[in-house]
Amino acid sequence: MLSKTCEYGIRATIFIALQSMLGMRTSLKYIAEEIDSPEAFTAKILQKLVRVKIIESSKGMNGGFNMSMDRIKSTTLSEIVYAIDGLDISNRCVLGLSQCSSINPCSVHHKFKPVREDLIALLTKTTVEEMAIGIKEKLAILR
Amino acid sequence: MLSKTCEYGIRATIFIALQSMLGMRTSLKYIAEEIDSPEAFTAKILQKLVRVKIIESSKGMNGGFNMSMDRIKSTTLSEIVYAIDGLDISNRCVLGLSQCSSINPCSVHHKFKPVREDLIALLTKTTVEEMAIGIKEKLAILR
DNA sequence: TTATATTCGGACTCATATGTCCTATTTTTC
DNA sequence: GAAAAATAGGACATATGAGTCCGAATATAA
Ligand code: FES
Ligand code: FES
């Protein structure tokens, strides 16, 4: 469904947002511990998220990653997924046809379309803020 | 979502079913042409489907693959997916937590659960027969 | 019985995803 | 200015998924 890269990326973003909401910058090391991910690999993913400006980083002592309140409120799951895994999740034919189209549909296209639309709605409507609050309120976990 | 192996496996099964409904056994070569898949790789996938008895094979001249009318009617998409990709699609946490559970949910569990249930319903309720008829009626394509 | 057409299955290759390591760069603290 | 603490980024390593090759087994037809 999602690549591991993407899974780590989402969990890391949620944790960074949570810390940012408490006014704190977070180090890679702490992030990797808290989301139970390989540190060096997570570093690569965070670099990517910095480049697309979903999160911010600062080097040096007391450096680390953070997210602006604006970004926390406006960033949706879909942006993270698209940045890391691309558009396949919204576009790709379930049966692997080179194009997914209602005009030349595969054998499950018509049944699958609404399910996929629900999935896309989930991604585009779920904000990082919402997820971070879920963690804060202990309604969800990150590891 | 589905592995390529699984995509090829499903498309091959649909085509074998279609041919079986016309009373014909189908050779690997013809299957690979019709579903636009690499022949040797498809062979491996079909071997697996034979082992789990979703399709049948016979060697030698005029050999090939076929499916009993019983199997065509009773086999669902989910059986093919589970046989090839395993249960991950129904079980795995979207955010990669080691367990997906409502008691210790990840940040999207509650929103994702109904979508996944719809997906599982799609898989368990869609029969090979239904898909083969769709191809026969030219309502869907295989390549 | 021999030639031919087919699947079976093991060993291999290739591509991509996942993950590690090491050095450079930047920033803060002393 | 030097030491320390952090991210950046390239090169490398490993695992898995995707795909190929080839000989063995089997069935049919002449
Ligand atoms: S054509 Fe296959 S999902 Fe749309
Ligand atoms: S816990 Fe993540 S999807 Fe259920």
Domains of chain A in start order, with CATH, are: 4-88+127-136 (1.10.10.10)
Residuewise pLDDT in 10s, chain A (143 residues): 999 999 999 999 999 999 999 999 999 999 999 999 999 999 999 999 999 999 999 999 999 999 999 999 999 999 999 999 999 999 999 999 999 999 999 999 999 999 999 999 999 999 999 999 999 999 999 99
Q: Which of A92, A109, A122 sits opposite B111 (nearest CB)?
A: A122
**Residues forming beta bridges with residue B26, ordered by sequence position:** B65
Could you tell me the maximum CA-CA distance found in chain A, to the nearest angstrom?
57
Please provide the DSSP assignment of chain A as one string: ---HHHHHHHHHHHHHHHHHHTT--B-HHHHHHHHT--HHHHHHHHHHHHHTTSSEEE-STT-EEE--HHHHHH-BHHHHHHHHH-SHHHH--TT--S---SSS--TTHHHHHHHHHHHHHHHHH-BHHHHHHHHHTTSS---
Please provide the DSSP assignment of B39-89 as one string: HHHHHHHHHHHHHTTSSEEE-STT-EEE--HHHHHH-BHHHHHHHHH-SHH
A27: CB within 7 A of chain C nucleic strand: no
Residuewise pLDDT in 10s, chain B (143 residues): 999 999 999 999 999 999 999 999 999 999 999 999 999 999 999 999 999 999 999 999 999 999 999 999 999 999 999 999 999 999 999 999 999 999 999 999 999 999 999 999 999 999 999 999 999 999 999 99
Distance CA A80, CA A123 (A): 9
- Between CA B131 and CA B137, with CA B133 as vertex, the angle to 5 degrees is 120
Q: Which residues of B touch A139 (CB under 8 A)?
A: 105
Could you tell me the maximum CA-CA distance found in chain B, to the nearest angstrom?
57
Instruction: Give the Å distance between the CA of A59 and the centre of ligand 2.
Output: 34
Would the pTM count as exceeding 0.85?
A: yes
The separation, in Å, between residue B139 CA and nucleotide D26 C1' comes to 38
Nearest to A140 by CA among B120, B112, B90: B112
Q: What is the mean pLDDT of chain B?
A: 98
| Paired tokens of B63 | 């050999």
Nucleic strand C contacts from chain A, 104-143, CB < 7 Å: none
Q: What is the mean pLDDT of chain A?
A: 98
Q: Which of A8, A95, A111 sits opposite B10 (nearest CB)?
A: A95
Most B CBs within 10 A among A99, A108, A139, hence the mutation to make, goes to A108
Distance CA A133, CA A139 (A): 8
Buried b (16+ CB within 10 A) or exposed e, B87-99: eebbebbbbbbee
Pocket of ligand 1 (CB under 6 A): A 93-95, 97, 100-101, 105-106, 109, 112
A63: CB within 7 A of chain C nucleic strand: yes
Q: Which residues of B touch A143 (CB under 8 A)?
A: 97
Q: Which residues of A touch B14 (CB under 8 A)?
A: 107
Q: Is A96 in contact with B2 (Cβ distance < 8 A)?
A: yes
Instruction: Give the Å distance between the CA of B102 and the centre of ligand 2.
Output: 7
Nearest to A12 by CA among A24, A23, A29: A29
Instruction: Give the Å distance between the CA of B7 and the centre of ligand 1.
Output: 11
